[in-house]
Structure 1
Amino acid sequence: TPNDKFYRIDTALSVPQVSRRDWQLRIHGMVDRETTYSFDDLNRFEPIAKTVTLTCVSNPVGGELISNATWTGYRVRDILREAGIRSDADMVLSTSVDGFTVGTPVEALTDDRDAMLAIGMNGVALPAEHGYPARLVVPGLYGFVSATKWVVDLELTRFDRAEAYWTKLGWSAQAPIKTQSRIDVPRTGQRISAGPLTVGGVAWAQLRGIKAVEVRVDDGPWQPAQLGAAYSADTWRLWSFAWDAAPGPHTLAVRATDDTGAVQTGDTAGVIPDGATGWHTVSVQVD
């Protein structure tokens, strides 16, 4: 996704302006050694690059609050390791320069998913609106529990001792991304000509990956779609379905199966408290 098309959801009334020279990252709380890093201090850590699809918890079924980018930066676990995480800490409360807070499981920041302190996006420095000079990118978690932009503070703590911004407002404290899929072509309400048509879209189940996608026409059986190449388990996956469209009104539905074998639920739920569920459907008129 081009940087200027990447979705943006945050609480900042104006985009914070932070210089690399002035930026610092403080690590404290339930650690052996409180530590503060300047931007230049990060150079001693091994740099990495990962392509990761980020998803907003407020994305409705079929919504567009999801984007994909190649991020560059440093493993959060390498940075936290220097501070020494105490064994009873289970949450990192990260704070943005504007005071916004996010609570993330320690496990998600230290396991082999390679959660990042990202400083680059699609080959350039982070744009200001996406967190310059540094932000968190954590595969497999919705942004409100992981994707702190303009991050300046990491406090090791516990979920039973601290609450982040959205948790105080009734959202879940922990929120792994749910398996979802979307029909991009055709669009709902579209009039199309009878005959062969390629239905297409994307599916995602970050950290688990997509194993299969199926499409249903009206009340017919679920039929397998063709999957595009899997870049990684952390990115969305393209799919297509060959449909011989007959004249009349039709409803198309899609569902995905992740690599664990779990099928996307058809139960409809809203975005609060931990993400929407249900099958995306589009209604079209075939002439």
Structure 2
Amino acid sequence: MNNITRRDFLDKGAVSLLKLSLGLYLADAAFPWPAHAKEDQSIFDNFPIPEITSASEHYLQQIDLKPAVSARKWRLAITGEVKKPLELAYYDFNKIERFSILNTLKCIGDPVGGKQAGHARWEGVRLRTLLRMAKIRSTAKDIVFHAVDGYSDSIPAARALGGEVLLAINMNGKRITKGHGFPIRAIVPNIYGMKNVKWIDRIEVTSYDYQGYWQKQGWSETAEIKTFSTILKAGISGAKSPALIAGVAYAGSRGISAVQISVEDGPWENVILKPAMSKYSWNLWAYKLESRAGSDVTVKIRAVERNGDVQQKGGWLARAYPDGVDGYHTIRVTDDI
């Protein structure tokens, strides 16, 4: 169980939200406010948690060293069950219609309360566009992403043709860094990070069910992100002031209708919830905990989906293997005032 003192809140100042220029096609219209979200949203002004995660703060995960790829020499091949195999250079992507999406990524191996999650705006071209250019065959079953470092994973062809899977070249308005997959990475909404393959140099269309790197080791093939809620900040801004407990919650396109907190195993209370920026965006949330001088307080958090389903309880001993962890993030807040 994590120990976070109320003074941890002072570690970082306010974080400005990233604002990107308009003009790109967006597939992510903002969600309407949940019915209960009538609270004063001013608490999210100068909030200590950024709604958009910078490239430097966004989690990174790979099976080997980050490969160095030259934009000038790099090529993307599209092969397999297509009538017209393609080979594209990096700068060919400037000639194809751009698409932008806000998306939350999370590592399937992230434990309860872990920080291997991030929310960013990705820009590139629809995978569907390239598959149509290659004249994908009706026999297609899986779309396999092959990476420069030898990693591979796949998604069903039906999902790839749905229109929201992206081959991203930019992150938050800037060229994707080497760590995040330069020159091209996949962004597959609703799916854990392992299928959002980085450093792609070949896309193979197969007529069979392809088993990727992690599937061969028993991890989930569908890899749908489970609902999660995480406490990222627990702090106090001054003596005898209420402590701010804050974090993020996400349920994929299922959406979040409420985030709830329990203090000292008491009844569940709704926290203040900020509407999500898009259907694939996480929600920021906040709760003001009254000061209890001289005592420590245990708090736990859970999320409720828009259809009323409550996040799975799981437990601290729950394992991420094979399809992601369930559990309520629980911390002990130390009152040292």
Q: Residue type matched to 1:10 in 2?
A: Q
Contact 1:52 1:234 in 2 (8 A): yes
Equivalents in 2 of 1:75, 1:216: separation in Å? 42
AA paired with 1:144? Answer: M
Match of 2:194 in 1: 144
Contact 2:299 2:332 in 1 (8 A): yes
Secondary structure in structure 2 of the residue aligned to 1:4: coil
8 Å CA contact retained: 2:234, 2:243:
no
Match of 2:185 among 135, 138, 154: 135
> Equivalences for 1:252-267 in 2 at 5 Å?
252-267=299-314
Residues 162-241 of structure 1: pairs in structure 2 closer than 5 A: 162-186=210-234, 196-241=242-287
The residue identity in structure 2 corresponding to 1:37 is L
Structure 1 runs (4+) deviating above 3 angstroms are 192-195
Q: 1:2 aligns with which of 38, 48, 54?
A: 54
Aligned-partner Cα distance in 1 for 2:121–2:71:
21
Aligned to 1:153: 202
Q: Which protein has greater RCO, CA pairs closer than 8 Å, 6+ apart?
A: 2
Q: Which amino acid aligns with 2:110?
A: N
Q: 1:216 to 1:166 in 2, by over 3 A?
A: same
1:157-214 CA-to-partner distances (Å, cap 9, x unmatched) read 2553x21111111111110111100112228xx9x97662221111012222222100
**Kept after mapping to 1: 8 A contact 2:314/2:325:** no
Unmatched runs of 5 consecutive residues or more in structure 1: none
How many Å separate the matches in 2 of 1:132 and 1:251? 42
Query: Aligned residue for 1:125?
Result: 175
Q: Are the counterparts in 1 of residues 145 and 204 from structure 2 also a CA contact under 8 Å?
A: yes
Q: Which moved more, 1:248-257 or 1:82-91?
A: 82-91
Equivalenced residue count is: 280
Q: Distance in 1 between matches of 2:306 and 2:208?
A: 29
The one of 82, 91, 103 aligned to 1:40: 91
Which 5+ residue runs of structure 2 have no aligned equivalent? 1-52
User: In 2, are the aligned partners of 1:195 and 1:246 still within 8 Å (CA)?
Assistant: no
Q: Over the residues paired in the alignment, what is the CA RMSD in angstroms?
A: 2.0
**More strand by proportion, 1 or 2?**
1
TM-score, normalising length: structure 1: 0.90
